[in-house]
Amino acid sequence: MSYDGADQHALLGAVGQFLAKDVVPALPDKRLAFRVRIAANLLRIAIGEQTAGDPPDPGDAPDDDDLVASLRHKLAVVNPRFDLSEDVD
């Protein structure tokens, strides 16, 4: 049986909520309740990582010259009196 991404997130969320809301309060052992609370938090983290998507491709990053030009432009707008000369002593 196969589930799409939305169903997987819903299932993981339901399990995490069940653990946090129903199981933890019913456990008399505080140490076990703490571990179950950690498991519920790990499920929330896993859902967040799944929904975040793939990390950006480093090859898509702008080159240094573009970054410097963008920074110079932003500095000129924010503080027109900022010295943008390239002479550094």
Structural domain for 58, as ranges? 5-78
Q: DSSP readout, 43-84?
A: HHHHHHHHHH-SPPPGGGSPPHHHHHHHHHHHHHHH-TTS--
Residue 85 in any domain: the answer is no
Give me the number of domains the chain comprises. 1
Residues of the chain with pLDDT under 70: 1-6, 53-56, 86-89
Residue-wise pLDDT for 51-76, tens only, equals 776 666 777 777 778 888 888 888 88
Residue 89 in any domain: the answer is no
Determine how many CB atoms are found less than 10 A away from the CB of residue 24: 17
- At residue 88, the pLDDT reads 54
Residue 32 in any domain: the answer is yes
To which residue do tokens 């432009």 refer?
73
